[in-house]
Structure 1
């Protein structure tokens, strides 16, 4: 078996999460957050598409973590982002964290918007 160490260049992976928080780059973020290779910070939740649209020229896909369980995003949320050219992939937040880490290690143009577990 061949093992390859994952590197992230300048991007910060999700290091951990728990009830109500996410840990990125040694920093704990409480509540909903938006993480990309350009930074991590709070996010206003599903009603806050403006913050996500600011990444339109930087990302191809937005992963959306819906908390402990996968759930549908509101149709208008998806329509707004897809109308701007951003693909939307919805899953539970733990799966979104893992997927984000793998994809940024591959250099993909991606961000993750997370609701806490």
Structure 2
């Protein structure tokens, strides 16, 4: 088996998560969060479409982590994001963190908007 070390260039990967918090690039952050290669910021959750729309020039797709369980994104949030030309992929938060790390490691233009587990 060959193992390849992943480099993240300027992006900060998810190192871990737990009840109410995330560890990103070694920093512990409480509450909902948006992470992309340009940085990270707090997120107001499903009611904060503006936080996601601000990423339109930076990313092509946003991974939405819905917490411990998978759930549908509200229709108005999905519509606003897709009208801005962004893809929206919804999954539970653990899957969103893993998927973000893989895609950003490949140099993809991706963001993760995640709710804590």
TM-score scaled by length of structure 2? 0.98
Q: Which residue of 2 aligns with 1:50?
A: 50
Q: Secondary structure at the match of 1:46?
A: helix
Q: Which residue of 2 aligns with 1:22?
A: 22
The correspondence of residues 81-100 of structure 1 with structure 2, limited to 5 A, is 81-100=81-100
Deviation at 1:40, TM superposition (A): 1.2
Alpha-carbon distance in 2 for matches of 1:17, 1:87? 24
Instruction: Name segments (4+ residues, structure 1) moved above 2 Å.
Output: none
CA contact (8 A) 1:63 1:88 kept: yes
Q: Which residue of 1 aligns with 2:110?
A: 110
**Residue deviations 1:73-107 (CA, integer Å, cap 9, x gap):** 10110000000001000000000000000000000
RMSD, aligned CA: 0.6
TM-score scaled by length of structure 1? 0.98
Aligned residues: 117
Unaligned runs of 5+ in 2: none
